[in-house]
Amino acid sequence: MSEWYRRRRMAEHEACHAIVAQRMGLPVAWASIEFGLDEGIQYHAAVKLPDELIDQERDRFAICVATCAPSFLISHQSDEDLWRYATMEADLAYTIAGKHGIDPDDVYDKAADLVDEHHVEIMELAERLDAEGRVVFQTV
């Protein structure tokens, strides 16, 4: 698999998290497909939600939806590692939702709908991430 192909799929993955999080009303500080370090956590690719603007109780459903969203990207199925990772994230989101009284089917349905409705926007952000490596958003 070419480096470009893998970078593009990673950009789509992070763009999907970011766009779905925004559509769920969550503030997104940045999305990156570059190596980095934030708050002592090293990452290869990530989306940053500002901790000070997130309330775990209030935002749990939205966070679960944004977490599982990339599992609905068909392009991920051609990259076994990324598909496995997206599926693992989704499984974790459904488990967390269920443990907090949120129906995992509601999380699944909302994520599937948002990825479908905002697919063009996700791909546009993925193009920017691929070109720029990091996109910073204005947060509330």
Q: Is residue 137 part of a domain?
A: no
Q: Residue 44: which pLDDT band, with cuts at 50, 70 and 90?
A: confident
Structure confidence by residue, pLDDT tens digits, 21-40: 999 999 999 999 987 766 66
- For residues 88-93, average pLDDT: 97
Report the predicted TM-score, pTM, of the whole model to 2 decimal places: 0.92
Cβ contact 129:33 at 8 Å: yes
Whole-number pLDDT of residue 79: 85
Rounded to whole angstroms, how far apart are CA atoms 2 and 4? 5
User: Is residue 140 in some structural domain?
Assistant: no
Q: Which residues pair with 122 in a beta bridge?
A: none
Give CA–CA dist 48/106, Å, rounded: 24
Q: 99-124 pLDDT, tens per residue?
A: 999 999 999 999 999 999 999 999 99
Q: What is the DSSP string of 12-31?
A: HHHHHHHHHHHHTT----EE
Residue 98 in any domain: the answer is yes
The boundaries of the domain holding residue 16 are: 3-132
**What is the tally of structural domains in the chain?**
1
pLDDT in tens, 55-66: 999 999 999 999
